[in-house]
Every structure is written in C-alpha cells, then in structure tokens.
C-alpha cells in the first residue's frame, strides 16, 4: 500500500492534470502557480570561478581567501535544496533561470549562475523535458531573466538548445489571456519560455520579458515584504500579463557580514 506521503507526491507531480474541469478554460494568468527562486542553485560548484556579475569586492575576497570564501558564498547563494526533477515532483512549475558563459571555458558552454556557477544549461533543460514526457498535462514556465557574459552567438546557441530540447512543446507568444490548460493540451504545448532580452522579438516561441514582470521588495523585513506583495498584486492584475510574486527576503551586506558563517537558511529563511 502506498504511504500518504507517496500519494501526496503523485498528486503534486500531476496537479495541473488533476484540476477540476471548471479551471481548464481559465486563463493561467488567473491561477497561482508555484515557482522557485534561483531554481538551479541546488547545485553550485565551489570549484568554479566567481560569476562575471559579481562586484570587484567579491572577486577580491575570493582571490584572497580562495576555497574558504567560496564555501561561505555557497551558504548565501544556494536558495534551493532540490534538483529540477524533485522540484517538479513537488509541484513547482515556474523556474527562475540565470545564464552565463564561463571565463576561459574551452567548450564555450552555457551555465546556470548565481555568484558561482551551477550546472550546464543543456543538462537542466533535458532534466525538465524528461519530466514533461512522463507528465503530458503538466506545463512549465521557464523564465530566462538574467544573462551574463553573453554575446549574440551565445543567445543563438541557447535558442537552438531550446528548439532541440522542447521542439513543438513550446507555446508561441500569444495574448496572455488566451493561454489556458485546455488550449495548451489541445496544441500539445507544455513549455512557455520568457526571455528578458531583445532577442525575444526575433523568435516566435520566446515570450518577451515584460510579459513576466517580477517586482522585487529588496527587504529583510517580513512585514514590508507582505505589504509590497499585496500592493504589487493589485497593480499587476490590471496589466493582463503573467507576473511574479517574489516571496523572498533579501539579505543586505550588513546581514551577510553579521552572519557570514551561518548562511541564508539560518539568518533569513526562519523569518
């Protein structure tokens, strides 16, 4: 007999398929869809170089303290403990993705990055696709919202990677209110790709970044965060687009200094 936990896992893995029929024709902009912040950060490579987006102070810190500095950085950079497959199984359908080239990389690969480098983008996309193949009524939102060290050729490489991985699973950009589960199921689309770069206007299956705005509270105070979220939800609902409610607290430099050895979980998450 399956445990209750096992039943819950099955339910979360196919929660879109299990929604009542009355919601099948509801625009997805009207549904609350769970997502993760820095979705790829379950794997951050402490042996990697520091990401190109990091300020000179961080670069200098790592150059002086080396591996020790990177171990401390990881405690503040890793916002997830589950890989893509586990997140999907737990019901996550929105992924926050930040892409970078790696200095002096002979293979000229693309990587997920947040301060330090994470896994190769190709591997992550394929992992998500494997889940979608097994769960044909589930839909994911891939939000490519930061690009570091990328030239036109790198964007072309990423676009081709998306084509090769997802093909017709990707939904072309249309009016947001037209996107319902019923529409996507009929078209056999399972992926909406949001791309915060001018490149998006050149490719039919890339949704412009402004169709997925993500207002940021930038606070360590839970009360201020809640007030910000309430105000932004009211405003965004008027726009008729998808939008993100970032239910995250952001450490200040002073927060990191005070809890440098503790990390994000102990210092911020408990709040």
- Tell me which residues are annotated as active site: 37, 114
CA distance 10 to 42: 22
Distance of CA 198 to the CA centre of its chain: 19
> Within 10 A of 18 (CB to CB), how many other CB atoms are there?
11
CB 108 within 8 Å of CB 101: yes
CA distance 247 to 234: 15
**Residue 239: DSSP 8-state:** T
CA distance 268 to 270: 6
CB 118 within 8 Å of CB 41: yes
Q: What SS3 state is found at 132?
A: helix
At 186, give phi and psi (nearest 5°): -65, -40
DSSP E strands, 171-223: 191-195, 206-208
Q: What SS3 state is found at 240?
A: coil
Hey, which residues does 114 pair with through a beta bridge? 116
At 159, give phi and psi (nearest 5°): -60, -45
Distance of CA 117 to the CA centre of its chain: 15
CA dist 39 → 3, 20, 84, 94, 231 (Å): 28, 28, 8, 9, 25
């Amino acid at each position: 007999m399956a445990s209750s936990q096992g039943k819950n896992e099955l339910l979360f893995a196919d929660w879109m398929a299990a929604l009542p029929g009355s919601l099948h024709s509801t625009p997805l902009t009207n549904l609350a869809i769970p997502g993760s912040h820095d979705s790829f950060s379950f794997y951050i490579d402490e042996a990697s170089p520091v990401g190109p987006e990091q300020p000179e102070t961080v670069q200098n810190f790592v150059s002086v303290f080396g591996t020790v500095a990177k171990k401390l950085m990881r405690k503040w950079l890793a916002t997830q403990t589950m890989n893509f497959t586990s997140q999907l199984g737990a019901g996550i359908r929105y992924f926050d993705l930040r892409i970078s080239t790696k200095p002096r990389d002979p293979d000229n690969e693309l990587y997920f990055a947040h301060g330090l480098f994470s896994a190769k983008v190709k591997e992550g996309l394929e992992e998500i696709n494997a889940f979608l193949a097994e769960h044909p009524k589930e839909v994911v939102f891939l939000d490519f919202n930061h690009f570091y060290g990328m030239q036109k050729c790198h964007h072309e490489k990423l676009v081709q990677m998306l084509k090769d991985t997802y093909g017709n699973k990707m939904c072309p950009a249309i009016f947001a209110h037209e996107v319902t589960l019923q529409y996507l199921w009929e078209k056999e689309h399972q992926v909406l790709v949001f791309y915060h770069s001018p490149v998006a206007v050149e490719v039919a299956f890339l949704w412009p970044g402004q169709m997925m705005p993500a207002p940021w509270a930038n606070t360590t105070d839970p009360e201020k965060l809640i007030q910000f979220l309430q105000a932004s939800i009211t405003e965004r609902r008027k726009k008729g687009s998808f939008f993100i409610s970032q239910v995250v607290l952001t450490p200040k430099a002073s927060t990191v200094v005070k809890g440098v050895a503790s990390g994000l979980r102990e210092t911020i998450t408990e709040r």
